[in-house]
Amino acid sequence: MSEEQKFELHVPSTLRSEKVAMDFAATVARTLQFPADRIEDLKTAVAEACMNAIEHGNKSDASTRVGIRLTAVANGLHIAVHDHGPGAGPVPVTVPTPDIESRIAGKVEGRGWGIFLIKNLMDEVSFESNEKGSVVKMMIYLDKPQ
């Protein structure tokens, strides 16, 4: 691909909108001939980022939108997921592995998986936040780096 191609989608801040964003990202990745396993990683990360934007950033206010921008580059895909809410505070620099054993035993709430999954499925991840909202920036390469 010689030049960047941009794709953009805006969804309401209602649960299940993440499924629309996930399908949108998968369709773009398929047209760029991403391998199936990378598309599955992308779908999960985009869905998690959208759910965080809906729940934590936009506080599930259906009148606000979540923006999803995908930019195709020569070796992969840049993804940005924007909310327009006050945000949920700063994202931790290190994200601990969620404790599945305690969750199964009913000792802890089943939270904390979103950022963990995003950071482990995408090749590059960064978070930005200000008074106008937050953005999760992700990069996924066509071929998973070794």
- Predicted pLDDT at 4: 86
142 DSSP 8-state letter = S
List of the chain residues with pLDDT < 50: none
pLDDT of residue 139: 97
pTM of structure: 0.85
Q: Does the residue 81 lie in any domain? A: yes
Residue 146 lies in a domain: no
What pLDDT sits at residue 131?
A: 81
Structural domain count of the chain: 1
pLDDT attached to residue 130: 80
Rounded Cα distance between 36 and 133, Å, is: 32
**Domain range spanning residue 44?**
5-141
What is the rounded CA–CA span in Å between residue 57 and residue 60?
8
Closest of 38, 28, 20 to residue 122, by C-alpha = 38
* Amino acid 10: pLDDT: 97
Instruction: Select from 103, 133, 136, 135 the least CA-distant residue to 119.
Output: 136
Residue 127: CATH number of its domain: 3.30.565.10
In order, the DSSP letters of 60-122 are T-TTSEEEEEEEEETTEEEEEEE--S--SSPPPSS-PPP-HHHHHTTSS-S--HHHHHHHHHS
The reply to whether 69 falls in a domain is yes
Determine, yes or no, domain membership for 25. Answer: yes
- The pLDDT of residue 3: 74
- Give me 31's structure tokens: 């047209």
